[in-house]
Each structure stands twice: as C-alpha cells, then as structure tokens.
Amino acid sequence: MPFCLYSLLTPVIERAEIMFEKTRPLLVLANEIGAHLKSKKETIAVAESSSGGLISAALLSVPGASLYFLGGGVIYTREARRALLGFSENEVSMRAATEEYAALVAETIRDQLGATWGLGETGASGPTGNSYGDPAGHTAMAAAGPENKSAILETGSDNRESNMLRFAEGTLHLLRSLLNS
C-alpha cells in the first residue's frame, strides 16, 4: 500500500480550517487595531491569563506587528505575578478576575515595557469556575493608555475553548472602543 502524506494531513488541515473560521472575528479585530496602532505610531503590551495567549497571538498575526507589539505574557499563577510583573506581596494577594486587578495588570505591563497601551485580562475559562467563586465564562479585562477602560464579561458558558476566544475578542473590542473614541 503506497504511503500518502495527504491522507495523513487531511484531518489536520480540516481542524486548522475549523479553527481559522472560529478565530476569524478575532483576526479581523486585530488587523483593525494593528492598522490603527501603526498609523498613530503607538505601541502595545499584553498581560493575559484565561485567554491563554490568544490576544497576543491575534495581534502578532498582523503583518508588521513588530512596529507596535512590544511584548507580553500569559500571567497564570501567583508566581508569574511576582516574577513577570514584579508584583508586591499585597498585589500578588489581590483578588484576580476583577476590574481593579485587570487595570493594575494592564498598567503594570504598559509601564514595564514602555508601551502606549497595556492590556490586562484575567478570569475563569472553564469548565469550572475559579477559586474566588467566579463561574466559568467570567473574565475581567482592562486597557490602560492615554485613556483607561475596564469591563467584566460573562459568557454564561463552561466551554473552555469558546470562552478563551470570547475573552480575547472582548478584550480587543474594549481596546478598539478606546482607539475609536
């Protein structure tokens, strides 16, 4: 029986096509934001948690991202808060998944990297809630820059993958609303 690479790759290609369709709205937003940041010569830094790096990945998918994307990380644990954000014990002990905490994260990553804008996102992607009692599908997001804004998003879903995408989209929508104001 002859070896057929295409038959082995077909399921992978089909899965990639499905994922591309799911992420299309995220990529459209990222392209719009990237174009704005490039035209204004502004920069961005991202510290995200329950979106798992999707915010950064979307912004980095735009050609020319190196003109505006300075860096960031997935801040998923207290140890990461300490090591990557330089948080004090009081800041490490703050209740995450709140607008106040998301704003602190956004301001900190912006200041650490010297960016025009900072994004912070923190929540519970699912399938269970977090240790603070927030349900799956809850996230807090913030943008810090020339103007600041924060919000809570509740999806009502326990689907982890879907929530991660919606958290990333929600955070980018929040930023876009500031950029367009």
Decide: helix, strand or coil at residue 154: strand
- Phi, psi of 47, deg, nearest 5: -125, 110
Give the pLDDT confidence of 41-93 residue by residue, as tens digits. Answer: 999 999 999 999 999 999 999 999 999 999 999 999 999 999 999 999 999 99
Q: Which of residues 8 and 148 earns the better pLDDT score? A: 148
Q: Domains in the chain and their CATH numbers?
A: 5-179 (3.90.950.20)
From CA 181, how far away is CA 179, in angstroms rounded?
6
Name the packing angle between helices 99-113 and 78-85 (round to 10°): 30
Q: Decide: helix, strand or coil at residue 50.
A: coil
Q: How far is it, in rounded angstroms, from Cα 14 to Cα 43?
A: 35
pTM of the entire predicted model: 0.90
> What is the per-residue pLDDT for 4?
66
Tokens of 141: 């997001």
Q: Give residue-wise pLDDT tens across range 21-37.
A: 888 899 999 999 999 99
pLDDT: which is higher, 11 or 138: 138
| Separation CA 140–CA 154 (nearest Å) | 9
